[in-house]
């Protein structure tokens, strides 16, 4: 592998970028190494039996369309995987029954499956040409390397998204009363700060109502804490049904709303 390719890959990985940005750079480099007309990344929905072309680079007369979907069972990539044949410069002869390959005029095809670090099958990284191209060990090495890089990046993006969702859930939990599901004391006072600021800006007034349930302790003493909790939940639900736009209803704690 040339120093130029290694340097460009290193520069790409050093940048904070989206999956699309990274893949497009890798497809451009893959085209240079393989001398193919088109390079592209696909994602396979195994359950739906569909293959989606996510990103493609077309520099010559062959055109592989992005956002194009084909049947996975009749795709060129599945044939390559099933036959363990990831390069062919005789596609019309070897896989003449593949309608997509025939319509696109593919003669030479190079492909590798992409498996994520957890072992799950993601899709394929491919290069194709309407003319005969020779196989090279260098091209195959680069293809395998890029497939591995894409797999790691996809896994990283998935982990980052999981962390974002977990963080959002924790934040929501910290502002929510666990019993009634209403905003808690923290959420109420932070909302009040915002409302006061907005009211000053609009020259409006704010009305604050404080609700204290009389003799709530008697419910707990007579019927038990479970019944008391159920009572608080129902109070919260009824208050919530009365809420209008711009209003904040929450539980301060205990029997106070």
Q: Which residues are designated catalytic?
A: 255
Encoded tokens for 133:
């191209």
With a CB cutoff of 8 Å and minimum separation 6, the contacts of 83 are none
Contact criterion met (CB below 8 Å) for 43 and 54:
yes
Encoded tokens for 220:
């707990």
- H helix or E strand, kind and range, residue 193: helix 185-202
Distances (CA, A) of 142 to 34, 110, 135: 9, 11, 12
For 129, list phi and psi in degrees, rounded to 5: -150, 150
Report the alpha-carbon distance of residue 179 to residue 202 in Å, rounded: 35
């Amino acid at each position: 592998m040339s120093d130029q390719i290694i340097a460009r890959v290193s520069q790409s990985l050093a940048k904070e970028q989206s999956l699309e940005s990274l893949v497009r750079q890798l497809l451009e480099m893959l085209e240079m190494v393989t001398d193919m007309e088109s390079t592209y990344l696909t994602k396979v929905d195994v359950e739906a039996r569909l293959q989606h072309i996510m990103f493609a680079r077309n520099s010559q007369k062959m055109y592989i369309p992005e956002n194009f979907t084909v049947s996975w069972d009749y795709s060129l990539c599945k044939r390559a995987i099933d036959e363990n044949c990831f390069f062919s410069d005789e596609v019309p002869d070897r896989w003449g029954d593949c309608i997509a390959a025939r319509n696109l005029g593919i003669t030479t095809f190079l492909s590798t499956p992409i498996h994520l670090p957890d072992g799950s099958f993601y899709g394929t990284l491919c290069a194709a040409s309407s003319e005969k191209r020779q196989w090279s060990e260098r091209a195959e090495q680069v293809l395998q390397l890029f497939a591995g890089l894409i797999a790691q990046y996809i896994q990283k993006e998935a982990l980052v998204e999981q962390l974002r969702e977990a963080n959002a859930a924790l934040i929501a939990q910290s502002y929510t009363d666990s019993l009634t599901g209403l905003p808690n004391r923290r959420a109420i006072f932070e909302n009040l700060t915002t409302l006061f600021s907005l009211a000053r800006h609009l020259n409006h007034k704010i009305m604050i109502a404080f609700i204290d349930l009389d003799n709530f302790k008697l419910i707990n003493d007579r019927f038990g804490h479970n019944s008391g909790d159920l009572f608080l939940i129902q109070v919260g639900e009824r208050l919530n049904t009365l809420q209008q736009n711009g209003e904040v209803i929450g539980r301060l704690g205990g029997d106070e709303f």
